[in-house]
């Protein structure tokens, strides 16, 4: 993706002012380097002036590039006119320099985002290739020919000197100037605390002192010391510290070399060789520290992003209705976040670092199941529902999924959701669907579901009673459906009043009821006899003008191992038929 970032939002509003900055900056840097490092005929030892224009190009929209390139060319022309013998050929120097700057800027903008030239190792590679190799090679090829024509200097040495000076100037100065122009130094300084600012200034002062010590004496070849202080800047400050540190070494080293003092003076091969050696030293400094700075910056950025993501996750979890628990492969809790105490009655600190078995003793065995053995299908999510021991009024849904790495299960994540409201709605719907509208007891479908559940539970006995209201058709025909409905409702109430809370009453037909007893046959028979007696002894309906008496017939059957539901109902129905045949108003157990 190509960068379209403007120069800090300013260059688009004041392009002429910044073109003047580029022209004047180019003039001063170019004039100084020509005067100090060239005899007026050959190329300067270091050429930092192009870096000003390159940094401005990278921080501006392309429609402003012609203006900035023109400004750079005028600055180059003025500098060469002031410091060299005036010839028509110096007009070409500016064109060549602007050509290589344009190539570098265009290539860098195409190859990646230029907001941070050295944001990572790959960005360092792109910058070195385009600004340190291809662009200077192009300029050196044309520039050496112009120098040969203008000043009759050998092409080979001229080519090497041009390439080395331009490459070094772009590599050393562009990152620093780019950071200055785009406001990186200003933002970095503003974001630091007072202590961090003090540390930055102290580290820069140490680096400057070490560099001055290295280049301020000509007895010991201790150039390596600047590496150590520069690496310290890279690790503590990052890219911006590296840019400024390299600039310090370049400036202090250049001043020392121009005065023919410092460790370079120990080289007895002449000024030209000393200049080449200094260029090689700066290049080595760059090649060594820039990747380190890029790696440090990448890690710092990654850590910053990770911290930001963790803070975002923490905020999300703080406002999330879900609890997330993470267990390693040994079943030890390694993460607990969300409304943990509200759901489980335990704080996150009481879960973290504890095995699932210990946690389950205080929350419920279901959590041990959720955090324990791997699922049958790796990666598949499963769910169970449970009520925590310390929060029995809640119903939690625990969904769990295995964590895998390289195909191996390394743990499990458990998500707890409050399913209390949903469970209540489901139960309300179930009750509504399974309830008889008239009497309020279970309807046929609801009663049969409870029977299935009771038969599946082999831990306790069960029995079924089928109840008929005696002569109900006569009551309904003689007194009307309104009285008939009242009779059915009263029958249902008396049946319900005569059983335990664990037993179930259902209306399975017009005037036919059934009772599911969680007890043996004899106990169920006695309960039915009490109910039948209470119904026969008191009016089932009465008002100011009417008194209705009735009774019930009841057949009871106990569940035997191997018996199906239909067989159980058939046995109770057979017993009921016997009661009706014997005159009704009675209870009979299936024999």
The set of catalytic residues is 511
CB 574 within 8 A of CB 555: yes
Alpha-carbon gap, residue 414 to 423, rounded angstroms: 20
CB 31 within 8 A of CB 82: yes
User: What DSSP state is assigned to residue 374?
Assistant: P
Tell me the C-alpha distance between 549 and 470, whole Å. Answer: 10
Cα–Cα dist 50/171, whole Å: 10
| Axis crossing angle, helix 49-58 with helix 65-83, rounded to the nearest 10 | 170
Q: Which H or E run contains 53?
A: helix 49-58
Residues 6+ apart with CB under 8 A from 480: none
Q: Is the Cβ–Cβ distance between 414 and 325 less than 8 Å? A: yes
Rounded distance between C-alpha atoms, residue 235 and residue 217, angstroms: 28
10 Å CB burial of residue 416 (0-12, 13-18, 19+) is buried
CB-CB contact of 202 with 209 (8 Å): no
Nearest to 477 by CA among 384, 576, 428, 548: 548
Q: Which two tokens stand for residue 286?
A: 């760059």
The Cα 279–Cα 86 span in angstroms is: 28
* Distances in whole angstroms, Cα of residue 356 to Cα of each of 335, 413, 530: 12, 12, 51
């Amino acid at each position: 993706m190509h960068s379209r970032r403007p120069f800090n939002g300013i260059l688009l509003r004041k392009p002429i002012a910044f073109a003047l900055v580029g022209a004047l900056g180019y003039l001063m840097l170019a004039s100084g380097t020509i005067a100090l490092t060239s005899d007026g005929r050959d190329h300067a030892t270091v050429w930092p002036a192009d870096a000003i224009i390159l940094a401005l190009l990278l921080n501006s929209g392309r429609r402003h590039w012609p203006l900035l390139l023109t400004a750079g060319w005028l600055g180059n022309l003025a500098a060469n006119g002031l410091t060299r013998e005036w010839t028509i050929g110096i007009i070409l120097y500016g064109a060549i320099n602007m050509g290589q700057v344009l190539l570098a800027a265009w290539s860098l903008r195409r190859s990646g985002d230029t907001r941070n030239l050295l944001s990572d190792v790959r960005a360092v590679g792109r910058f070195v290739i385009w600004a340190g190799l291809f662009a200077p090679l192009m300029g050196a090829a044309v520039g050496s020919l112009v120098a040969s024509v203008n000043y009759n200097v050998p092409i080979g040495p001229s080519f090497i000197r041009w390439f080395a000076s331009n490459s070094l100037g772009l590599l050393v100065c562009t990152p620093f100037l780019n950071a200055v122009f785009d406001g990186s130094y200003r933002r970095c300084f503003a974001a630091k605390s007072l202590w961090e600012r003090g540390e930055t200034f102290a580290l820069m002062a140490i680096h400057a002192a070490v560099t001055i010590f290295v280049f301020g004496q000509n007895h010991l070849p201790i150039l390596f010391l600047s590496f150590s202080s520069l690496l310290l800047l890279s690790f503590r400050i990052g890219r911006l510290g590296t840019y400024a540190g390299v600039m310090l070494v370049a400036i202090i080293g250049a001043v020392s070399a121009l005065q023919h003092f410092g460790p370079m003076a120990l080289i007895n091969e002449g000024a030209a060789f000393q200049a080449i050696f200094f260029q090689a030293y700066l290049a080595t400094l760059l090649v060594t520290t820039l990747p380190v700075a890029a790696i440090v910056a990448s890690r710092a950025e990654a850590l910053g992003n990770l911290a930001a993501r963790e803070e975002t996750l923490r905020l999300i979890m703080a406002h999330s209705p879900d609890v997330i628990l993470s267990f390693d492969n040994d079943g030890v809790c390694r993460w607990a976040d969300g409304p943990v105490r509200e759901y489980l009655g335990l704080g996150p600190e009481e879960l973290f670092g504890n095995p699932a078995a210990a946690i389950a003793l205080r929350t419920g065995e279901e959590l041990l199941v959720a955090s324990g053995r791997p699922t049958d299908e790796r990666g598949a999510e499963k769910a169970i529902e449970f009520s925590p021991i310390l929060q029995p009024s809640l119903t939690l849904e625990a969904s769990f999924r295995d964590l895998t790495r390289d195909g191996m299960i390394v743990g499990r994540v458990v998500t707890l959701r409050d399913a209390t409201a949903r469970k209540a709605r489901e139960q309300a719907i179930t009750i509504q669907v399974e309830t008889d509208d008239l009497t309020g007891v279970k309807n046929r479908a609801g009663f049969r579901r409870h029977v299935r559940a009771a038969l599946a539970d082999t831990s306790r006995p069960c029995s079924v009673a089928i109840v008929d209201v005696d002569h109900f058709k006569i009551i309904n025909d003689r007194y009307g459906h309104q009285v008939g409905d009242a009779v059915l409702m009263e029958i249902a109430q008396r049946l319900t009043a005569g059983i335990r809370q664990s037993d179930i009453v259902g209306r399975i037909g017009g005037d036919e009821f059934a009772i599911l007893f969680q007890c043996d046959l004899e106990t169920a028979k006695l309960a039915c006899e009490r109910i039948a007696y209470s119904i026969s002894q008191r009016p089932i309906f009465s008002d100011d003008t009417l008194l209705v008496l009735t009774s019930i017939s009841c057949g009871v059957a106990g569940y035997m191992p191997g018996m199906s539901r239909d067989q159980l109902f058939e046995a109770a129905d057979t017993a009921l038929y016997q009661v009706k045949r014997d005159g009704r108003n009675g209870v009979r157990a299936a024999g």
